[in-house]
Amino acid sequence: MVSTDYNKSLEMVEDFASLSYKAITKAKETEDQFIFDTLNNFTREHYQITVEKDELVKAIQLVRIMREHNIDIRESYTTATHKKAALDDAYQRGLQDGIAIEHNRVMDILNNRS
């Protein structure tokens, strides 16, 4: 009888521990999802992009690594912003040049037919 009561008590403790672990895990997952959803909504609203959860994790890890090595992320951001602007400008100039060249080529063909 004592061993049966002991086994039941032990089973109840194990069930409680398992239930507690599941509740804590679910609460942590819910908290993580809430934080991710909040940040994702912010980026979607203010920057018109959707960030995947693994991208957000990697971005946070990148910031941490940069801080550990005393790298100012603002400098990297400024450099990236300037390079993007330069690439956008070069693309637009190349596109306009290409359009002008093809326009002139078509006009030459049409003028030579007359």
Q: Read off the pLDDT of residues 6-21 as tens digits, 9 standing for 90 and up.
A: 777 778 778 777 778 7
Structure tokens at 27: 């609460």
Q: How far apart are CA 76 and CA 62, in angstroms?
A: 12
- pTM of the predicted protein model: 0.49
- What's residue 22's pLDDT? 78
Q: How far is CA 54 from the centre of its chain?
A: 7
- What's residue 20's pLDDT? 80
Domain boundaries, the chain: 1-71, 72-114
- 25-79: pLDDT as tens digits: 777 778 888 888 888 889 999 999 988 888 988 999 999 999 999 999 999 999 9
CB neighbour list of residue 31: distance below 8 Å, 6 or more residues apart: none
- What's residue 19's pLDDT? 77
